[in-house]
Structure 1
């Protein structure tokens, strides 16, 4: 019952996205299975920190990355904080837990050349799926929107006359994002193809599968991976890399960090600053090639 109450708390009070809530539930259920299978304990509200340490060790032995383990423990920590708050427990067993050390995660964005090759040189099919795929890539690259925001984008949130979109970000925070003329043209072409579908189940949403249902996370990932694997040898070719690319390319061209923060829908500048290391590298390259002293 407490887990169900915690999930409701995350969804209704914290306004976490369904994707985030699902991740919390999976982590807590995984720990529950460990306690049941390894220690024959069904009530994880009554466990001691030693059991949590044992779970961490078992995850390490299975080869789970420290970053992933820290995320699982963070889910568990939030759960026990909730239990403490509602009076279900008197002590948080994770109160003094220290996260495992992790190396800095560096995500390499796509280059401008790679983006140009995908959007201008790859021959997308002139059908519903081809037009949809191209619009998805164009939209994520030119707006920086999150995958969840793209999936949830409603028909009534697209204003082509004003050249803007209204998206619902994290914590149900709305923001308006401008779209480029090229993106507007793609929208018009896509809507024509969309209208030819034999059946539409989820008409309120912009992006659909060919069966007429709202698109889903793995489909978006497959679309990005399919086209970028044709032009890029980067290990990671995910929707988030497109968001990362959007921010990096704007900063490389001199965009104001605070403006990029607003476009991305970040709540703090610190979240946006993770993208600046690529921008600084680009500035160093420009400085080195353009400054008169660089020839000395």
Structure 2
């Protein structure tokens, strides 16, 4: 009773007490005459602000977190009011609760100009991570580093790289909107190095055989000859054929990142493209699924190897690597350098045979 009376008198004087019964005074959220314990517990909230103790907050709700803490440190579900460090501009605001739906992530990829195939790849990777999260009875956003590493065990190195890359992209998107947990966990992950593979290209003899087969199909008016020719003699991706436009002695396509480029094209392909309608049921401008299905009936598979063959033949015949980069539409020369591994240094065997 005496304690309650004392608190009432202090309140009338603009003062309050902390949980230990010590007298404190709060002016504009600043604690005056408080013990360290009272200072840590002092909370300043705008009028009408409500803090949900169980943590299922709307993404719009924010809390103040000590700036000296690691951003996005996941301490589980909140158990009380937000902590405040009275440092003015040093206070950081981080959202807690359930982040936005993944649909917004895919919208951001489209807005960034990512290709349809790239977005499909992200969807596939995130389906995998959703399964991982479901086993842990949580969302992808709440995954911990140990759970991410456990999911990677036993998977192909390049598959791991792709899976982690997609998850990091999602983590950056969450971070942009004020949800840092996933990004922080992924920062702890060791960099996954991919396999140093050599491009799977056809041999010189196989290249000539495929080229002649394409010419025969074109003479018969078969559009499949155009598709094979564009891949093995122009280095087009199978997905780029649907927007290929013929010029005088070149073909123009729109590739990854919505970037356009022009590639020299043999006359027999140019003539066939002018004679064959582009759009329509019998046109040659078809999606990859249609082309894939039709060429498999001819016994072809691994269509990207035709593009590899194009680049490898050019390199072995003396075309410079940076020129090949432009023809293929690579944004970085490091991507094109995989073809340099296919070129065998000359004269090595002769050096070894010298006495």
- TM-score, normalised to structure 1, is 0.74
Q: Distance in 2 between matches of 1:254 and 1:34?
A: 48
- Give SS of 1:275's match: helix
Structure 2 counterparts to residues 5-154 of structure 1, below 5 A: 5-13=104-112, 15-36=113-134, 38-41=135-138, 43-57=139-153, 60=154, 64-90=155-181, 92=183, 93-100=185-192, 102-120=194-212, 124=217, 131-153=222-244
The residue that corresponds to 2:12 in the other structure is none
Alignment pair present for 1:247 and 2:311: yes
**Is 1:158–1:165's contact at 8 Å kept on the other side of the alignment?**
yes
Structure with the higher fraction of residues in strand conformation: 2
**Is 1:118–1:228's contact at 8 Å kept on the other side of the alignment?**
no
The residue that corresponds to 1:3 in the other structure is 102
**Is 1:118–1:227's contact at 8 Å kept on the other side of the alignment?**
no
**Is 1:2–1:83's contact at 8 Å kept on the other side of the alignment?**
no
| 1:121–1:89 CA distance, 2 compared to 1 (3 A) | closer
- Give SS of 2:276's match: helix
Equivalent in 200, 211, 217 of residue 288 of structure 2: 217
- Give SS of 2:263's match: strand
Displacement of 1:260 in angstroms is 1.2
Moved over 6 A (4+): 291-296
| 1:172–1:66 CA distance, 2 compared to 1 (3 A) | same
**Is 2:157–2:194's contact at 8 Å kept on the other side of the alignment?**
yes
Displacement of 1:150 in angstroms is 1.5
**Is 2:252–2:260's contact at 8 Å kept on the other side of the alignment?**
yes
Structure with the higher fraction of residues in helix conformation: 1
Structure 1 residue runs of 5 or longer lacking an equivalent are 209-214, 230-236
- Give SS of 2:253's match: strand
The residue that corresponds to 1:234 in the other structure is none
Alignment pair present for 1:175 and 2:265: no
Q: Distance in 1 between matches of 2:339 and 2:211?
A: 23
**Is 2:207–2:309's contact at 8 Å kept on the other side of the alignment?**
no
Query: Which of structures 1 and 2 has the larger relative contact order (alpha carbons within 8 angstroms, sep 6+)?
Result: 1
Displacement of 1:151 in angstroms is 2.8
Deviations 1:211-240, CA, capped at 9 Å, x for gaps: xxxx333443345555465xxxxxxx4221
Find the structure with the greater CA-based Rg: 2
| 1:163–1:89 CA distance, 2 compared to 1 (3 A) | same
Structure 2 residue runs of 5 or longer lacking an equivalent are 1-99
Deviations 1:22-74, CA, capped at 9 Å, x for gaps: 111221122113312x1222x322232222223223xx2xxx42211221121
Displacement of 1:117 in angstroms is 1.8
Displacement of 1:138 in angstroms is 0.9
Provide the alpha-carbon RMSD of the alignment. Answer: 3.0
The residue that corresponds to 2:252 in the other structure is 166
**Is 2:161–2:194's contact at 8 Å kept on the other side of the alignment?**
no
Equivalent in 184, 198, 202 of residue 270 of structure 2: 184
Deviations 1:95-149, CA, capped at 9 Å, x for gaps: 1212445432223311221122233258649766xx1111111111111111221
